[in-house]
Each structure stands twice: as C-alpha cells, then as structure tokens.
C-alpha cells in the first residue's frame, strides 16, 4: 500500500494555489494496490489497506455489463404551473437582489424541482471514507437517510422531501491507469446495487463522475442505459476535471459552460426520445474558477440544473462560499453539501442544521450528505 500520493485543496480561497495549500479545506489521498492495480478514491477520503484490496479485486475500468432496463412510465400529461410558480417563490425565500428565482421556461411535466426537495446520501460502495453511502451497512444507511428526510421535512413543511442515493461511478485517480486518463470507471454491477438499495425506500439515484484527464464527452455516454430510467439523474464534479493535464489532486479542476451544455444536451435528447420526465444535473462547486462562463449555460425544459455548494468547514465559510459562487452566479437551482465528519474538523465547527441551511437565499432545493 502506497500512502505517498497526497494532495491538499482549499475550499475557501481562490486567490492563488499557494493560498489553497496554506488554508486547506479538502484533503484527498490515493489508494494504491500492489502490482498492476493503483486505485485512488478521492473526495475527502483515505481508504484503508483492506478497502484498497477489495477495490483492486472487484473494480475494473470497464462498462461492458449491460444493465437491465425497464419500460419507463409516461410522465404526467401536464405541469401544474401555479404550483411551480408558488414553489419558485418559496425557494427564493424573499431574495431581493433580482437574481432569484432565475427566469426560465417551464420544465416538462413530471419535473421534481422545485416542488420537492431532494435529500441525497453520497459515496462509493468500495470505500467507507468517501461518504455515508459506503460507510454504513446498507440497512443502517437507509434508515439514517429516512431519518434525515423526516428532519428536513419537519424543518420545511411547505416542500416535500424525497430521498436519493448519489453514487460516484467514475473516480479520479493518482495514477494514469490503462487509459492514461487518471480515472477509474466502477463496474456496472455497483450501480445496479445502488439501484436495488434505492428501490427499497423509493429513492432517486444520481450517477456522479470525476473525469480526471478524460472528458464529459468520453464518460457521459457510458451511462446511457441508466439515463433511460426515469429515476436516475446525474452529477459532474469540476474539481477533478483536469483540463491543464495536471494530475488530479495537484490543482482544482474546472468545467466550462460548454461542458455543462454538452451534458444537458445529451440528457435532453434521452428525455425526448424516451418520453421521460426531466433529468436533474448536479454540478459541484466551491471556488470561482471551478465553473467558467456560467452565463453561457443554456437551460432547457428537459433538464434541471443544480449548482451544489460543495465545501466543508466552519458554518461562516460555507455560507460565504454559497453566497459568493452559488447565489451570486445564478444558473437555475441550488444545492448544499453537508459533511458528517469534515464539518467538525475545525475547532468549534459543527454540521449545520436544516433550519440554518433553509435560512439561505435562495433555499437549497438539493441537499447532499457525505
């Protein structure tokens, strides 16, 4: 086991990389198995030797398994526009800047946002360190998720809260791998496991990717069979999109509006061809440079875009990040990430309560726990 691949990220300063190193929010460690397999699972993780061995034995950089697909039900025939408008007003939470709510065309019938709030558990099944999804045994994790849904529902009775499992299906790597892309695709059987878990509590599923030196054009089509399922949505992580050719973990990566537009166009095509309700797309963000040319992001009725505040640390800094990069640069909907462990790492810090998060303007409509 090689523990030498370590990198430090900042989640609160975007002035210089050296400032990021000094004022770290995020640490990512690589997992390296011996011999020919080297696997690094990032996103605030440092897995044990046993976990690395399990990944080395089970994970293959492959997407050759065909998932079973079901005939999707037809979405609702009409959208209740009055309900949609009321929900948008509730979400704006009295914002007076004129930025929120964002003006856009109505979504297709069957849209989840903003009439419902999504509460997701995030992680990877091979690692107990990448998030609560993977850290706890399945039944315990599902019960905890349902408990969080009840807490958030009590905090805001005006908006229904629905559970979700947010699975990292492509992980950034500390080694180039066979493809030379510094990323590893999880086997489809792992996505199938997450789908089976979600079915037990009628939860949504998000597939998330960290492209490394790859591209969204390379990775997104790999999951088309899953996108044809009405309950499956998507997430992309700019942090590990290494456009400069740097190794993941050495600097913070980025996506441009053109990348996001490629993804939304791809998802919209699937929605239209398969008569599906709109897809949700989560874009993680905690610095200015992680998303470039946000004004060029094109909205369309088939896809609902969520810009997710992805930083950990003290309450004040998380709120400042949300205001600086999510509120100030409006796209469509907003999300907020909470960390069961990392939000306690600094002296005096703690995880924010539902009531505290819901006091933000606009109210995040997607909540993620790692």
Q: Give me the DSSP letters along 113-154.
A: TTTEEEEEEEE-TT-SSS-HHHHS-HHHHHHHHHHHHHHHHH
How much is the pLDDT for 36? 30
How much is the pLDDT for 312? 86
Tell whether the model's pLDDT for residue 228 goes beyond 90: yes
Least confident interval from 20-24, 234-238, 268-272, 358-362:
20-24
CA–CA distance, 268 with 52 (Å, rounded to integer): 37
How much is the pLDDT for 70? 44
Q: CB of 340 within 8 A of CB of 366?
A: no
When pLDDT is cut at 50, 70 and 90, the band that residue 346 belongs to is confident
Q: What is the mean pLDDT of residues 53-80?
A: 54
CA–CA distance, 214 with 94 (Å, rounded to integer): 41
CA–CA distance, 295 with 292 (Å, rounded to integer): 9
Of the two residues 135 and 2, the one the predictor is more confident about is 135
Of the two residues 1 and 297, the one the predictor is more confident about is 297
Residue 206 bridge partners (DSSP): 166, 233
How much is the pLDDT for 61? 54
How much is the pLDDT for 168? 98
3-class DSSP assignment, residue 369: strand
The CA distances from residue 250 to 253, 258, 310, in Å, are 9, 24, 18
Q: What is the mean pLDDT of residues 224-251?
A: 97
Q: Please give the share of the chain, as a percent, with pLDDT higher than 70.
A: 79
When pLDDT is cut at 50, 70 and 90, the band that residue 71 belongs to is very low
How much is the pLDDT for 30? 33
How much is the pLDDT for 313? 87
Q: What is the mean pLDDT of residues 292-311?
A: 97
Tell whether the model's pLDDT for residue 86 goes beyond 60: yes
Q: What is the mean pLDDT of residues 125-141?
A: 96
The closest of 60, 28, 65 to 46, measured between CA atoms, is 28
The neighbour count for residue 185, using CB atoms within 10 Å, is 23
When pLDDT is cut at 50, 70 and 90, the band that residue 251 belongs to is very high
CA–CA distance, 227 with 91 (Å, rounded to integer): 27
Q: CB of 188 within 8 A of CB of 69?
A: no
How much is the pLDDT for 56? 35
When pLDDT is cut at 50, 70 and 90, the band that residue 342 belongs to is confident
Tell whether the model's pLDDT for residue 58 goes beyond 70: no
How much is the pLDDT for 1? 34
Q: What is the mean pLDDT of residues 278-305?
A: 97
Question: What rounded mean pLDDT belongs to the chain?
Answer: 84
Least confident interval from 8-12, 212-216, 240-244, 314-318:
8-12
Of the two residues 370 and 62, the one the predictor is more confident about is 370
CA–CA distance, 280 with 138 (Å, rounded to integer): 25
3-class DSSP assignment, residue 337: strand
How much is the pLDDT for 53? 32
The neighbour count for residue 238, using CB atoms within 10 Å, is 25
CA–CA distance, 176 with 247 (Å, rounded to integer): 8
How much is the pLDDT for 60? 54
**Which domains does the chain show, CATH number per domain?**
76-369 (3.20.20)
Q: At what angle do helices 138-155 and 188-200 cross, to 10 degrees?
A: 50
Tell whether the model's pLDDT for residue 258 goes beyond 90: yes
How much is the pLDDT for 72? 47
The closest of 162, 191, 203 to 69, measured between CA atoms, is 191
How many helices, marked H, and strands, marked E, lie in the chain?
Answer: 11, 13
């Amino acid at each position: 086991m090689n523990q030498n691949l370590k990198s430090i990220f900042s989640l609160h300063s975007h002035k210089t990389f050296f400032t990021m190193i000094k004022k770290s929010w995020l640490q990512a460690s690589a997992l390296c198995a011996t011999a020919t397999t080297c696997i690094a699972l990032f996103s605030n993780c440092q897995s044990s030797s046993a976990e690395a061995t399990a990944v080395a034995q089970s994970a293959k950089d492959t997407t050759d398994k065909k998932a079973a697909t079901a005939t999707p039900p037809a979405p609702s025939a009409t959208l209740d526009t009055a309900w949609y408008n009321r929900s948008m007003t509730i979400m704006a939470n009295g914002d007076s800047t004129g930025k929120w709510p964002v003006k856009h065309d109505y979504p297709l019938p069957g849209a989840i946002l903003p009439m419902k709030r999504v509460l997701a558990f995030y992680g990877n099944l091979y690692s107990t360190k990448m998030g609560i999804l993977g850290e706890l045994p399945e039944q315990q994790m599902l019960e905890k998720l349902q408990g969080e849904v009840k807490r958030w529902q009590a905090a805001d009775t005006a908006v229904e809260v629905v559970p979700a499992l947010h699975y990292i299906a492509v992980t950034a790597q500390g080694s180039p791998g066979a493809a030379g892309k510094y990323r590893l695709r999880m086997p489809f059987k792992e996505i199938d496991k997450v789908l089976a878990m979600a079915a037990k509590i009628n939860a949504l599923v998000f597939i998330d990717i960290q492209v490394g030196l790859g591209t969204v054009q390379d990775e997104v089509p790999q999951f088309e069979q899953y996108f044809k399922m009405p309950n499956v949505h998507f997430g992309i992580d700019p942090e590990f999109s290494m456009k400069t050719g740097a190794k993941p973990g050495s600097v913070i990566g980025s996506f441009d509006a053109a990348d996001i537009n490629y993804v939304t166009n791809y998802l919209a095509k699937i929605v239209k061809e398969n008569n599906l309700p709109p897809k949700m797309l989560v874009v993680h963000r905690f610095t200015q440079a992680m998303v470039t040319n946000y004004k060029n992001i094109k909205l369309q009725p088939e896809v609902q875009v969520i810009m997710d505040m992805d930083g950990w640390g003290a309450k004040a800094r998380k709120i400042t990040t949300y205001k600086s990069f999510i509120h100030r640069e409006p796209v469509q909907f907003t999300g907020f990430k909470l960390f069961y462990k990392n939000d306690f790492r600094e002296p005096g810090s703690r995880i924010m309560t539902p009531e505290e998060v819901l006091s933000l303007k606009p109210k995040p409509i997607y909540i993620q726990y790692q």
